[in-house]
């Protein structure tokens, strides 16, 4: 049976962030994920998790100035110190929240930058983060993102992600496979997930087009959920979509799976 985590950065967006934990639990979710915890007190977030019996499934490493359009700094040669400081901050929050995996967003490749230097920077940053996180009992994930939504995003495909992991040389780096992003970039969802099941530590979902809830687009999610059960995927599935109307009104798709 798939395990679903509510992505609180996108679901229940009409509520104050701490109140989204309560709403997710009322809807039947057992886990939550979101982009970043760093604007909130660790004790407040830990209390909301405990109060609602929720598991903190995932959050991201600090990713630069999100409001200004940055989408990660791990690939940027002039931001290595900031990246390394962010790893320490992520460990503090993940430890306080009982979160056993964090995701790194590589970022947008600067125009005209030397491709070799960008890759070298990202691999070195992955190696650094993987080592620090492993010592804290936390897995490092890396995610490919489609370049229609984020033009210029550096990591944009499954094989590239796997190549970066291999170059890093760490046993503590895994794939975060976003079904929506990879449908837009590659397709072949079921075959890819089966082929790389051992490397995939976390899945995320949304339908396409529109990035709305399952059942609103072209992806056959009932088939995929059954497929994940068949091949024995053991992890969580993060519901990282934009509700077409309200979150609760669009939850009909998940009711058979929440029990």
Residue 191 corresponds to which tokens in the numbers above? 């075959």
CA distance 83 to 73: 7
Question: Residue 198 corresponds to which tokens in the numbers above?
Answer: 């051992």
CA distances from 139 to 11, 205, 212 (A): 25, 20, 28
Q: Is 240 a catalytic residue?
A: yes
Q: Which residues of 216-248 are buried (b: 16+ CB within 10 A; e: fewer)?
A: bbebebeebbebbeeeebebbbbbbbbbeeebe
Q: Phi, psi (5° rounding) for residue 24?
A: -65, -45
Say if residue 131 is exposed, middle or buried (CB neighbours under 10 Å; 0-12, 13-18, 19+): middle
Closest CA to 106 of 165, 61, 34, 155: 155
Return the ∠ at Cα 159 (arms to 158 and 165), rounded to 5°.
Answer: 95
With a CB cutoff of 8 Å and minimum separation 6, the contacts of 56 are: 31, 32, 33, 45, 49, 94, 97, 98, 99
Q: Which of 14, 70, 143, 199 is catalytic?
A: 143
14 catalytic? Reply is no
Name the token pair of 158: 């499954």
Assess contact for 161 and 167: CB atoms under 8 A: no
From 82, 120, 134, 240, the catalytic residue: 240
Catalytic residues: 143, 240
């Amino acid at each position: 049976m798939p395990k679903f985590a509510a992505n609180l950065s996108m679901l229940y967006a009409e509520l104050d962030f701490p109140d989204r934990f309560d709403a997710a639990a009322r809807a039947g979710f057992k886990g939550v994920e979101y982009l970043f915890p760093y604007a909130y007190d660790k004790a407040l977030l830990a209390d909301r998790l405990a109060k609602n019996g929720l598991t903190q499934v995932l959050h991201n490493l600090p990713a630069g100035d999100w409001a200004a359009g940055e989408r990660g700094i791990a690939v940027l040669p002039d931001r290595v110190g900031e990246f390394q400081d962010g790893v320490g901050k992520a460990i503090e929050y993940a430890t306080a929240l009982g979160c056993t995996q964090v995701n790194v967003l590589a970022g947008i490749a600067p125009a005209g930058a030397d491709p070799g230097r960008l890759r070298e920077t990202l691999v070195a940053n992955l190696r650094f983060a993987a080592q620090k996180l492993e010592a804290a009992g936390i897995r490092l994930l890396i995610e490919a993102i489609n370049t229609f939504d984020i033009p210029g995003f550096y990591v944009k495909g499954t094989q590239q992600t796997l190549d970066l992991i291999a170059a890093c040389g760490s046993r503590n780096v895994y794939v975060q496979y976003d079904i929506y992003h990879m449908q837009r970039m590659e397709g072949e969802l079921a075959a890819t997930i089966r082929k790389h099941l051992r490397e995939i530590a976390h899945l995320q979902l949304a339908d396409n087009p529109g990035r709305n809830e399952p059942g609103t687009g072209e992806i056959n999610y009932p088939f995929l959920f059954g497929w994940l059960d068949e091949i024995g995927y053991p992890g969580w599935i993060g519901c990282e979509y934009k509700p077409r109307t309200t979150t609760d009104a669009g939850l009909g798709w998940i009711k058979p799976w929440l029990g």
